[in-house]
Amino acid sequence: KWRNYLPRVGISYFGLKNTNINQPDSQYNDIRIQLNQLVYDGGENFHEIESARLQELLNNQDWNITKNKISLEVQKAYLKFLSNKFKHSMLSKTLDRINKLQIDSELESKSGFNTELERLELESKIRDIELMSLKASSSIRLAEIDLKKQMNLPLTVKLIPKDSILEDYILFQPSELINISEYLLQKPELKKSKLAIENLRTRQEILDSYWKPKVIFGGYYGKNINGPLPVQNDVFGFNIGLQTQLGSTTNQSSLNSGVQTDGTGIQRIPGFGPQFVGRGENAFNSTNFNLFDDLSYSRKIYEGQITLSDAIRNQRNLEITLEAEIYKSLEKLNESWQVIRISNAKFYQNAEAWKTALLKFDRGFMKPAELLNHESELLRSLDDLCLGYSTYIESTYELAYSLGVSNEELLLVRKEKSKGNSIFNELMKSGYFEVSSKVDKK
């Protein structure tokens, strides 16, 4: 649009040759360079440039919104993949222990130490854990497919995660001191809405300024000749154009003045055709009124006003929606933190019960099926803990997205290799699960 401020330069050629019967032949050639410069347009071009700038900013905000949305979906898919990977890993280790228990149970059944009912009960518990492992394995594949889809990767690519959801993530308690109104102003969606309103106002100013005239100043210089080329008689002149509009009626007026230094020239008058002019000054004026030329212009103005008012109303609705999303994310975050607190206690209680059961089993005071009951409860509590962790981390990502900031700015999650603060990782590092039983010695 800024190019409209530059002069428009053109080169024109006009040739005429008449070969008539019973009349003298005539020939005319004219070559000239023309220049036209926009002098005043009522600010229309300035507003067009401003509108183009705002549209570019709108496109940038669109890109930011899309980028943030894709980033959030990739992070959520990765968390789901990590969670299922961890659960499957724990179930695989449990299955190894179960296989040893099953071998012992079969030997004891053959020796008559176990009843058929005890054997069937053990088999049922084993099938339950195998079913959990099967579901976890299937969930891994589905999560991996979803992650590849979000990252636009070929499905044949092998993904090997290096993170562990319970061992590498450090979680911090959410803060209640979050200035929502301050963050709300940074949301790309709200910035986009404000830019759209500003752009509509700019477009409306263009429509409302339709009555302002446009003034164009131009000039020309060239040579002509009443005969064959080359041209030799100098010609030059200037013109002033005026364009106005009142309602649906448009007007175009022009003032043209020129000089023919020698010979005879042809002045081309719009609407009247070529006119011969002699040596000296020549001029012509013209005015054209086009009645009912733009009957829809008033409708365009009203439509622009309606569109602008709709955009302002939609912005307010958007603010309410975004604010509600932030509050929902905060509520989900606080709930997830409480779930982790309860899951930690539940996991520790089941771990203590499992450890006690393992000692009783080693001393012969507990049956394999009863030990498997404790194994199953421990796995379920670990599953709940893993789910609580992934839900909390996902909630922090969603909150960061809702606030329009990066995950690091919230200071709710930090990732460090083997530095996770989950109770599972703390117990693992303390050697809590490093117990020797007769099952592991088989």
User: Where in the sequence is the domain holding 371, given as residue range(s)?
Assistant: 53-195+306-429
Residue 309's pLDDT is 92
Pair (275, 375) in one structural domain? no
d(CA 72, CA 387): 18
In angstroms, the CA 203 to CA 197 distance is 10
User: What amino acid occupies position 181?
Assistant: S
Q: Is the dihedral of CA 73, 75, 78, 80 positive or negative?
A: negative
- Residues 35, 103 share a domain: no
Each residue of 224-236: b (16+ CB within 10 Å) or e?
bbeeeeebebebe
Gyration radius of the chain over CA positions = 42
Residue 114 has a pLDDT of 65
How far is it, in rounded angstroms, from Cα 144 to Cα 251?
A: 67
Sequence-distant (6+) residues with CB within 8 A of 338 are none
- Do residues 184 and 320 both lie within one domain? yes
* DSSP symbol at 33: E
How many angstroms separate the CA atoms of 348 and 245, rounded? 82
Is 46 among the domain residues? Answer: no
- Which CATH number covers residue 326? 1.20.1600.10
Picking from 45, 38, 44, 43, the residue whose alpha carbon sits closest to that of residue 218 is 38
pLDDT of residue 271: 64
The pTM score is: 0.76
Q: Which two tokens stand for residue 368?
A: 């394999």
Alpha helices in 151-225 (DSSP H): 180-184, 188-208
Please check whether residue 4 is in contact with residue 55, taking contact to mean a CB–CB distance below 8 angstroms.
no
**Are residue 190 and residue 76 in the same domain, yes or no?**
yes
What's the token pair of residue 91? 């179930």
Question: What percent of the chain has pLDDT above 90?
Answer: 29
Residues 34 and 97 in one domain: no
In the chain, the N- to C-terminal Cα span, in Å, equals: 82
Which DSSP state fits 106?
H
How much is the pLDDT for 75? 92
Distances (CA, A) of 16 to 10, 337, 427: 20, 90, 101
| Residue 368 resides in a domain | yes
Please count the structural domains in the chain.
Answer: 2
User: Could you count the other beta carbons within 10 Å of the beta carbon of residue 96?
Assistant: 11
Alpha-carbon distance values, 334 to 77, 415, 435 (Å)? 22, 20, 36
Q: Which of 236, 259, 293 finishes a domain?
A: 293
Rounded Cα distance between 241 and 215, Å, is 6
Pair 312, 414 in one domain: yes
Same domain, 174 and 83: yes
Q: Identify the residue whose tokens are 């549209």.
A: 55
Q: Could you tell me the two tokens for 433? A: 């699960």
Residue with tokens 């004891």: 108
DSSP letter, residue 150? H
Q: Could you tell me the two tokens for 219?
A: 């000039």
440 contacts 200 by C-beta, under 8 angstroms: no
Closest CA to 52 of 119, 19, 4, 117: 4
Q: Is 201 part of a structural domain of the chain? A: no
Q: pLDDT for 60-106, tens place per residue?
A: 999 999 999 999 999 999 999 999 888 888 888 877 777 766 666 66
**Ranges in the chain, pLDDT < 70:** 1, 100-115, 118, 177, 270-273, 295, 435-442
- The pLDDT of residue 102: 67
Strand pairing of 169-171 and 413-415?
antiparallel
Per-residue DSSP letters for 274-293? EEEE-SEEEEEEEEEEETTS
Cα(235)–Cα(262) distance, integer angstroms: 8
pLDDT of residue 158: 86
State both tokens at 265: 């020239």
Residue 257 per-residue DSSP state: E
Residue 206 lies in a domain: no
Best CA proximity match to 202, nearest among 45, 341, 346, 350: 45
3-state secondary structure 39-60: EECCCHHHHHHHHHHHHHHHHH
270 and 370 part of one domain: no
Let me know if residue 301 belongs to a domain.
no
Q: Whose structure tokens read 């012969």?
A: 364
In-domain check, residue 236: yes
Q: Supply the pLDDT for residue 341.
A: 92
Please indicate, yes or no, whether residues 324 and 405 belong to a single structural domain of this protein: yes
Q: Per-residue pLDDT tens for 288-346?
A: 888 877 767 777 888 888 988 999 999 999 989 998 998 899 999 999 999 999 999 99
Same domain, 127 and 6: no
| In-domain check, residue 47 | no
- Asked if residue 277 and residue 375 are part of one domain, the reply reads no
Q: What is the pLDDT of residue 235?
A: 92
Q: How many helices (H) and strands (E) does the chain have?
A: 8, 10
What's the rounded Cα separation, in Å, for the pair 386 and 391? 8
pLDDT at 360: 87
Is there a domain that residue 298 lies in? no
**181 and 62 within one domain:** yes
Interior CA angle at 123 toward 122 and 128, to 5°?
100
What is the spatial distance between Cα 178 and Cα 404, in angstroms, rounded to a whole number? Answer: 13
- Please report, for residues 5, 91, 306, 411, the alpha-carbon distance to residue 204 in angstroms, rounded to integers and kept in the order given: 21, 65, 10, 44
Per-residue pLDDT at 186:
81
